[in-house]
Amino acid sequence: MLERGRLKSYIQALRSGSENARRDTIQALKPIERADWDHIPNELVKQTVDALRQLLPRSQDNGAKPPLFRQEIVTTLGNIGPRSSPALPQLVDLLVDGVPDGIREATATALGKIGKESRVAIDALIRIVSAHCRIALADRIVRALGDIGCSDQRVRAVLTSLWQFPIHSQSNQVQVAIAMCKLGFSAPGVLKFLTATLVSSRDSTLRKYAIEALSNCNRTEIDVVPALTAALYDDDEEVRKLAEAALTHMRLNKAKAIQLCADQLEDATHAETALRKSGQLAVPALIAALKSKEPLAREKAARTLSSLGELAAEAAPALTALLNDKQLEVRLAAAKALWNVNKNADAVVPVLADLLSTKNVPNPEAPDARRIFFQTVIESLCRIGPSAKAAIPALNRKTKDENRLVRESAQRALREIGPPLSAAKKTLA
């Protein structure tokens, strides 16, 4: 806690102390965080800000020797927050060409922390970032633009341009996306980039940045909640906590988030991942999704239940009902899921064998669609093993299929399941 008496002595040292006293005071003030400054009365903060800004250069001081400890002073002003706004003219002067980038980075950060009052600095910030400055400075400026909160045409144009023609850094792309989300607008590919970064990036810092951006998005936007829900199971504890806080900010507990993932199964890229990671908690929502009017949602729900295995045992009746679905892909997904859930070969094998006899394969116009479908069915029977003997006649017929790969798959399955039907007859004889 910052003591008021000590702060008064700091102010006195800044105003009239020796250079060494000022240096020691500035070093002492720099680590003080915003939470501590928030407890200091306005009058003392005003005096501190006034003393600090007097130590910064002014535009009319051309040719004067730059004062020492500019970066530390700027950092302190940023930590004080919005009440540092009287120092904005001096801070803007530190953005001009010729000022070392380290000081300009600290200045951009401070302007963002001061917030909306820093709108007077937007033109200067835009000039720097539009001149293709180095990545670290660009990151600070972009973040400042998001924190300042001005979403006018100038800011939208520069952020959109940076998104479309990014500086070569994934970190910079994330910072641009964060700023856009904070300011309430987007560009093609932003959400897809953020959700993919959160779910797939190996860099925990980028995943944290992605959460920061997504927490400013609407929870109904496709893949926002699924990506955040998947992050609840991240290997990094801090990422997990940030994801939980983001969902709480959206007024979603884990159960509601899971339900929203299930509702987005048809369209969302990461809904299956989120539901799979949620484990048994997701089973009731997935059972409900098996009754969706959309075939793709039913297929994905069955596929996710399949990955959960025995944890999804209560889904067996709903999966059994789905074995008669009109859509071949749904029937296949339900059969595979039911086997993984309860190993009921008597219910599953006849369905898979019947699928080997179909002539109307899914997506017939797609390259290799027929081969892929039949090989998938055959592989499912192969994994069931000897319990799939009822499918031997259908597999025997597939050994004469027009496609060589299908024939070879059927032959391999027969070796796994048991002897061919003709060999079995000879044995019986």
For residues 179 and 185, the answer to whether their CB atoms sit within 8 Å is no
CA dihedral sign of residues 244, 247, 253, 257: negative
Alpha carbon 129 to its chain centroid, in Å, reads 26
Q: Which of 65, 61, 64, 69 is nearest to 22 (CA)?
A: 69
Distance (Å, rounded) from C-alpha 162 to C-alpha 26? 36
What are the residue boundaries of the structural domains of the chain, listed by start? 347-429
Here the tokens at position 85 are 């706004």
Question: What is the C-alpha to C-alpha distance for residues 255 and 276, in angstroms, rounded to an integer?
Answer: 14
What is the spatial distance between Cα 331 and Cα 353, in angstroms, rounded to a whole number? 12
> Alpha-carbon distance 286 to 265, whole Å?
9
Q: If DSSP codes are grouped into helix, strand and coil, which group holds residue 219?
A: coil
Please give the sequence-ordered ranges of beta strands (E in DSSP) within 152-206, or none if there are none. Answer: none
Q: Could you give the C-alpha distances from 174 to 105, 143, 148, 371, 415, in angstroms and in order?
A: 17, 10, 17, 41, 52
- Say how far apart CA 14 and CA 24 lie, in whole Å: 10
The CATH number assigned to the domain with range 347-429 reads 1.25.10
DSSP 8-state secondary structure symbol assigned to residue 32:
-
Q: Which two tokens stand for residue 174?
A: 């994330």
Instruction: Quote the pLDDT of residue 60.
Output: 47
pLDDT at 67: 59
pLDDT in single tens digits along all 429 residues of the chain: 678 889 999 999 999 878 889 999 999 999 999 999 999 999 999 999 999 999 987 654 555 555 568 999 999 999 999 999 999 999 999 999 889 999 999 999 999 999 999 999 999 999 998 877 888 899 999 999 999 999 999 999 999 988 887 666 777 888 999 999 999 998 999 999 999 999 999 999 999 999 999 999 999 999 999 999 999 999 999 999 999 999 999 999 999 999 999 999 999 999 999 999 999 999 999 999 999 999 999 999 999 999 999 999 999 999 999 999 999 999 999 999 999 999 999 999 999 999 999 888 887 777 788 899 999 999 999 999 999 999 999 999 999 999 999 999 999 999 989 765 444 333 322
Q: Residue 166: what pLDDT?
A: 67
Q: What is the DSSP letter of 61?
A: -
What pLDDT does 3 receive? Answer: 85
Q: Of 41, 42, 49, which is closest to residue 15 (Cα–Cα)? A: 49
Taking the C-alpha atoms of residue 177 and residue 193, their distance in angstroms, rounded to an integer, is 9
Distance CA 258, CA 225 (A): 9
pLDDT at 424: 38
Cα(306)–Cα(276) distance, integer angstroms: 9
Q: Single out the residue of 388, 427, 241 nearest to residue 415, CA to CA.
A: 388
